[in-house]
């Protein structure tokens, strides 16, 4: 999945970053509604002790598998070539905790939805960089145990900041996008997502 994502980004960027002038003409207003779907992978930025605190397990003798697939959908509106807003839903996959004892395992399945403001930097007519900031309503659903069936592990949810950067290619009505997002759920649970998406401009 990682190799596929990197190849997609490289092909899209190298094929379209041709000399077209440095900045887009502001009179060429890129306005209107768009939507898209994407996939990629996620990575947890915390160690196993922090994750144990997040779910209330009190344990640390387990292996942490934090690399899983991400799926996301988004709908946005561009007010002009430089500013837009976007709503999204992201399935951030599972973080897996695996203990040495038989049956000692826990899955933390995370998802989020919310809205962001995008600031964009057009390069020529077909390419642009963007940065985003917003809020995500997130949910982390905990299933399983870590060898102590009497212990009730803690689900978590909340509303916290979302940040991201990326680049996209605009081909008539189509979009090809690659981006990085940081979901700042908790000091003990931060998820990075790397995705490639295809979109449609109305």
CATH code of residue 34: 2.40.160.20
pLDDT of 199 higher than 80: yes
pTM of the model: 0.79
Residue 60, classed as helix, strand or coil, is coil
Mean pLDDT of 45-52: 84
The rounded percent of the chain whose pLDDT value lies above 70 is 80
pLDDT of 146 higher than 90: no
Of residues 161 and 102, more confidence is placed in 161
Residue 198, classed as helix, strand or coil, is strand
CA 120 to CA 174: how far, in whole Å? 17
Return the CA Rg of the chain: 19
Domain that includes residue 80, residue range:
2-201
184 exposure class (CB count in 10 Å sphere: 0-12, 13-18, 19+): middle
CA 32 to CA 70: how far, in whole Å? 27
Of residues 129 and 100, more confidence is placed in 129
pLDDT of 127 higher than 80: yes
Of residues 100 and 34, more confidence is placed in 34
Q: Residue 51: pLDDT band by 50, 70, 90 thresholds?
A: confident
Distance of alpha carbon 180 from the chain centroid: 6
CA 68 to CA 40: how far, in whole Å? 8
Please state, rounded to an integer, the average pLDDT across all residues of the chain: 83
pLDDT at 149: 66
38 conformational bin, left if phi > 0, alpha if psi -120 to 50, beta if neither: beta
Which of 24-38, 93-107, 119-133, 134-148 has the highest average model confidence (pLDDT)? 119-133
Total structural domains in the chain? 1
Mean pLDDT of 124-144: 93
pLDDT at 136: 95
pLDDT of 101 higher than 80: no
What is the CB neighbour count within 10 angstroms for residue 100? 9
CA 178 to CA 168: how far, in whole Å? 6
Q: Residue 163: pLDDT band by 50, 70, 90 thresholds?
A: very high
pLDDT of 39 higher than 60: yes
- Strand (E) positions, 14-155? 32-44, 62-65, 68-78, 83-99, 105-123, 127-145
Lowest mean pLDDT across 60-64, 84-88, 114-118, 179-183: 60-64
pLDDT of 93 higher than 80: yes
pLDDT at 87: 97
Q: Are the C-beta atoms of 136 and 183 separated by less than 8 Å?
A: yes
Please name which of 198, 180, 196, 176 lies closest in space to residue 4, comparing C-alpha atoms.
196
CA 127 to CA 146: how far, in whole Å? 48
CA distances for 119 relative to 4, 113, 130, angstroms: 27, 20, 6
């Amino acid at each position: 999945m990682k190799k596929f994502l990197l190849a997609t980004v490289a092909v899209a960027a190298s094929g379209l970053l041709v000399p077209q002038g440095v900045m887009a003409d502001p009179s060429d207003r890129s306005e209107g509604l768009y939507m898209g779907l994407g996939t990629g992978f996620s990575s947890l930025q915390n160690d196993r002790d922090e994750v144990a605190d997040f779910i209330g397990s009190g344990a640390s003798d387990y292996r942490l598998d934090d690399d899983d697939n991400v799926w996301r959908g988004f709908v946005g509106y561009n007010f002009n070539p430089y500013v837009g807003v976007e709503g999204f839903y992201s399935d951030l996959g599972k973080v897996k905790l695996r203990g040495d004892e038989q049956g000692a395992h826990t899955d933390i399945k995370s998802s989020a939805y919310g809205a962001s403001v995008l600031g964009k930097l057009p390069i020529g007519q077909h390419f642009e960089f963007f940065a985003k900031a917003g809020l995500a309503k997130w949910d982390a659903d905990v299933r399983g145990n870590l060898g102590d069936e009497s212990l009730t592990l803690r689900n978590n949810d909340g509303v916290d900041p979302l940040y991201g950067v990326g680049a996209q290619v605009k081909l008539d009505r189509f979009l090809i996008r690659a981006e990085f997002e940081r979901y700042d759920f908790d000091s003990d649970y931060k998820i990075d997502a790397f995705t490639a998406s295809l979109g449609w401009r109305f």
